[in-house]
Structure 1
Amino acid sequence: MVIPVHDKNPVRRVPVVTYALIAVCAVVFLAGPISGFLPLYGSGRGLLCEQNAYLARWGVIPDELWHGPLPAALIPAPAGCPAPHDYGKVPVLSVLTALFVHGSWLHLLGNMLFLYVFGDNIENRMGRVRYLLFYVVAGYLATYGYALVHAHSAQSLVGASGAISGALGSYLYLYPRARVTSLFPFLFFLPLRLPAWAVLSFWFVLQWLAAQASPSGPAVAYAAHIVGFAFGFLCTWVYFRRKPGRAGPEPARPEPSAPGAGPFFDGPSKRPRE
């Protein structure tokens, strides 16, 4: 496991789309039953049933992408909970809604941290509209890639990690030498500042190994991460190689360190340059 917390790669303008995506995901999570923030969803067994129905309604069920909406009786539910209602769900649209739904606080915070660290630079390089389109397409391809591997799964799939993985792949192509400060739990959370190619390659290998170790369908959608990452890298490579006047990777722009900055954190690099 690797946890990026900071990259030394300043942006030229405010990453409006990245911040908006983070805000929407946070609001959706707080307003839903998963957060446990609102008392209207009840507590105990009632809350658990509400959470299951919520994920079934707004999340992706891989089987539904290929075979259409499942009968409510076939959707898994905790013991003692009624089957989720038939909401007239459109499976292809559930891929989009699932990008903004998360299954726990840790799930939300982890995804938003990755999006914050890597998404702003991709937005600045691609432009806001292209970046948003890229994000959504990466999310769709990642989800369908997972559904292809687990075609008969009736478990709900939620989260933005497939789309964010696309941003990671794009970052690897565009900024392989940018310095990324990351925490490694197996090193007792020691912060290390490494080039992006090392951090992201290590992350990708971990996803690949985890996917091989859980072929029956893991709790974490590793296959979606792999597909999203591969799409992000290849899409960015094709776009920036074929677009006239656009070079491929550019080196990270250095930013002066603040006086007295430590060896790992060299002062804020996420402040937009006006």
Structure 2
Amino acid sequence: MFPLRDNNPTVHRSIMTFYIITLNVLCWILIQGAGFPPFLQRSVVKFGLIPREIFSIFFKEKEISGSFFTYVINNTPKLYTIFTSMFMHGGWFHLISNMWFLAVFGDNVEDVMGSFKFFLFYILCGIGAFVVHSILNLSSSLPMVGASGAISGVLGAYFILYPRAPVYTLLFFGWIWTVIFPAWFLIGYWFLLQIIGGIPSLFISTGGIAFWAHIGGFLTGIFLVRFFIDPVRFEERRRCLGCVKKFYTPVRRSFFN
């Protein structure tokens, strides 16, 4: 399942969501060379978050050889990568899918927080994703990049704020269908997939998707959202809830009787 858009109108312009998307795209083009070597490899190594490097005081220096790079982890933690890794990506699909999710769900979360609070919330969710991923992968030498952890926190906030909001979704089931699901079902299904994907990584060292970063970001978002809501903006949002409920009713009758 892949979300196309939600039917959840906003009251205010989502400036920060646009800025974050723009910053990610600029980092991809200007720093990562739009995915072309050697810019991609160098950016991942320099700006990606490596748990073993962050906690390098507990490990000896180690040389890491990957499929297209070799680097040395030393005893000087690069703490700035906790921040920079959120704006690096591993490929075009990685970037586009992340930015699409942020565009679909971020505007409504920003709508009740305001631009500054939303940006701070976004960064804290990214840090929460790093903490959970690193605790479970202290000795990992694989760079972690991507906005997925922070965006997972946005999904967690959306899950709490707008559980009934209808989301138009591509469903791949024998054919490609366009269906409408309430947000709680779609995001809940996504979170279940992260749990299913994350459990094997507790026992087997694998690369690829950082499932526990997604889980950590999502749970951080659920926990923090209540502290970032602007009461005035929230009251203004309540005036728009009628149109959300209007569209939700046929969705509920269609899928959840």
TM-score by length of 1: 0.78
Q: 1:105 corresponds to which residue?
A: 92
Alignment pair present for 1:156 and 2:143: yes
The 1:201/1:72 distance shift into structure 2, 3 A limit, reads: same
Shift, 1:84, TM fit: 3.9
**RMSD over aligned Cα, in angstroms?**
3.2
SS of 2:178's equivalent?
strand
Shift, 1:245, TM fit: 10
Q: What is the distance in 2 between the residues matched to 1:104 and 1:65?
A: 24
After TM superposition, the structure 1 = structure 2 runs for residues 140-179 of structure 1, keeping only pairs within 5 Å, are: 140-179=127-166
SS of 2:180's equivalent?
strand
Q: What is the distance in 2 between the residues matched to 1:106 and 1:246?
A: 34
After TM superposition, the structure 1 = structure 2 runs for residues 1-274 of structure 1, keeping only pairs within 5 Å, are: 2-33=1-32, 35-36=34-35, 47=37, 49-68=38-57, 74-78=63-67, 83-84=70-71, 90-215=77-202, 216-237=205-226, 252-254=241-243
Contact 2:156 2:221 in 1 (8 A): yes
Q: What is the distance in 2 between the residues matched to 1:252 and 1:127?
A: 18
Contact 1:56 1:75 in 2 (8 A): no
Q: What is the distance in 2 between the residues matched to 1:188 and 1:209?
A: 24
Q: What is the distance in 1 between the residues matched to 2:176 and 2:60?
A: 46
Q: What is the distance in 2 between the residues matched to 1:27 and 1:246?
A: 32
* Aligned residues with identical type, % of pairs: 31
Shift, 1:56, TM fit: 0.9
SS of 2:9's equivalent?
coil
Deviation digits for residues 214-249 of structure 1, max 9, x if unmatched? 332341011011111111112224655x979967x9
The 1:113/1:217 distance shift into structure 2, 3 A limit, reads: same
Q: What is the distance in 1 between the residues matched to 2:61 and 2:42?
A: 10
Specify every segment of 5 or more residues in structure 2 that has no aligned partner in the other structure, as ranges: 252-257
The 1:59/1:71 distance shift into structure 2, 3 A limit, reads: farther
Shift, 1:208, TM fit: 0.5
Q: What is the distance in 1 between the residues matched to 2:12 and 2:174?
A: 35
Specify every segment of 5 or more residues in structure 1 that has no aligned partner in the other structure, as ranges: 38-46, 258-262, 265-274
Q: What is the distance in 1 between the residues matched to 2:59 and 2:32?
A: 23
Task: Report the structure, 1 or 2, having the larger helix content.
Answer: 2
Q: Bigger CA drift: 207-216 or 153-162?
A: 207-216
The 1:67/1:84 distance shift into structure 2, 3 A limit, reads: closer
Amino acid at match of 2:10: V
Contact 1:57 1:89 in 2 (8 A): no
* Number of equivalences: 243
Q: What is the distance in 2 between the residues matched to 1:36 and 1:228?
A: 25
Q: What is the distance in 1 between the residues matched to 2:144 and 2:10?
A: 33
Amino acid at match of 1:235: L
Deviation digits for residues 28-85 of structure 1, max 9, x if unmatched? 1112345246xxxxxxxxx2x5432321101000111222598885233336x5x448
Q: What is the distance in 2 between the residues matched to 1:254 and 1:205?
A: 29
